[in-house]
Chains A and B, each alone.
Chain A
Amino acid sequence: MAAVCVAVISKQNFPLYLRSVNPQNEADLQFQYLVHASIDVVEEKVSTLGTPKAGQDPREHYLGLLYPSEQYKVYGYATNTRVKFILVVENTTSQSRDTEMKMLFKNLHVAYADMLCNPFYTPGQKITSRTFNNAVSSIFQMSKGFTSKE
């Protein structure tokens, strides 16, 4: 499972960051559409987070698979401040593992937190940080490594 697109969505549901593996690709618009469509599912899942069911970690940020499309699968993650991360991965036959997805999101979360600490970044701005970009690139790389597994 190779991740093809990463998006960060603010609390008020406007996009802070969207990047796909091949930026010149025409599929870019499609990703925007996919991510936009996923917001509804995210909202729904987030609203149930407040009332954790038994056996569920209340600190769990990972929202799991939001929805599959023909080509892609969309995964979500929401922080306690309701900033959402969306990952679009290629829909292959191999089963992607939740633990792997969680790890990718965890890395993304850490990169986001570091980026937010930059005094020159105003929260709510579009993310243009170079270090964040690099972190996303390494997430793309890392997700490719998972493909070898079943």
Chain B
Amino acid sequence: MSRQGRPQDTRKVSGELFSLTYGALVAQLVRDYEKDEEVNQQLDKMGYNIGVRLIEDFFARSQQGRCHDFAQAADVLTKVGFKMFLGVVPTVANWSAKGDEFSLILDQNPLVDFVELPETHQGLLYSNIICGVIRGALEMVQLEVKVWFVQDQLRGSDSTEIRVKFLKKLEDAVPAGED
């Protein structure tokens, strides 16, 4: 399943460089598209494309086994996934009664270090790329989820909350002989 024994990558990129690069990307998208909704959609799409690739890197580096339920998946997503790629560990909270929906609470979002949303773009979901990454990555492990922003620090909330809803298990996607 994973490329075993890959040496730990010690190369690090400065957090500021990372957030400035992402900022330049979003600012360019905002210039290219007319509506904020379209930008949000583009970010989600980019995130999805990153996610479906990033999951391989994730397994190669973490040697993570299979998760048995959604709660465990949430745990791995936050404690291993977010920590590995963003350097923060969000809190998992607000589980729905059925256990198919939870929230990721980010006290600190490394993407938004210097950002201030302009008055004219209040509909912009600046960090929407994260939603796409989660959706793409989980789809590769046969979990179809819906991910969306509930609140965003950039819009004046205290913390950033991302909602993840489990839709269905993608049984068909499992290649023969995998189980």
Contacts and interface: CB of A to CB of B under 8 A. Distances in A.
A and B: bona fide binding partners: yes
B80 interface: no
Interface stretch (B18-26, B50-58, B137-145): B18-26
Contacts of B121: 120
A119 B24 contact: yes
Contacts of B115: 118-120
A114 B116 CA distance: 11
A130 B16 CA distance: 20
Per CB-CB distance, the 8 closest pairs between chain A and chain B, nearest first, are A119-B23, A117-B114, A119-B27, A120-B118, A118-B114, A118-B116, A129-B116, A119-B24
B67 interface: no
A119 B26 contact: yes
Interface string A117-144: 1111100000001110000000000000
Give the interface SS of chain A, mostly helix, strand, loop or mixed. loop
Nearest to B119: A128
Q: Could you say which of A119, A121, A130 has the most chain B C-beta atoms within 10 Å of its C-beta? A: A119
B84 interface: no
A115 B115 CA distance: 8
B16 A117 contact: yes
Contacts of A120: 23, 27, 30, 115-118, 121
B30 A117 contact: no
Interface string B4-30: 000000000000100010011011001
Interface of A: 114-115, 117-121, 129-131
A120 B115 CA distance: 7
Contacts of B26: 119
A131 B113 CA distance: 12
Interface string B95-138: 00000000000000000011111100100000000000000000
Interface of B: 16, 20, 23-24, 26-27, 30, 113-118, 121
A131 B23 CA distance: 17
A98 to B, nearest CB: 30
Contacts of B27: 119-120
Contacts of B16: 117
A110 to B, nearest CB: 12
A2 B26 CA distance: 41
B94 to A, nearest CB: 29
B107 to A, nearest CB: 18
Q: Could you say which of A115, A120, A121 has the most chain B C-beta atoms within 10 Å of its C-beta? A: A120
A114 B26 CA distance: 18
16 contacts: A115-B114, A117-B23, A117-B114, A118-B114, A118-B115, A119-B20, A119-B23, A119-B24, A119-B27, A119-B115, A120-B115, A120-B116, A120-B117, A120-B121, A121-B116, A130-B116
A6 B56 CA distance: 52
A131 B117 CA distance: 11
A115 to B, nearest CB: 8
A104 to B, nearest CB: 22
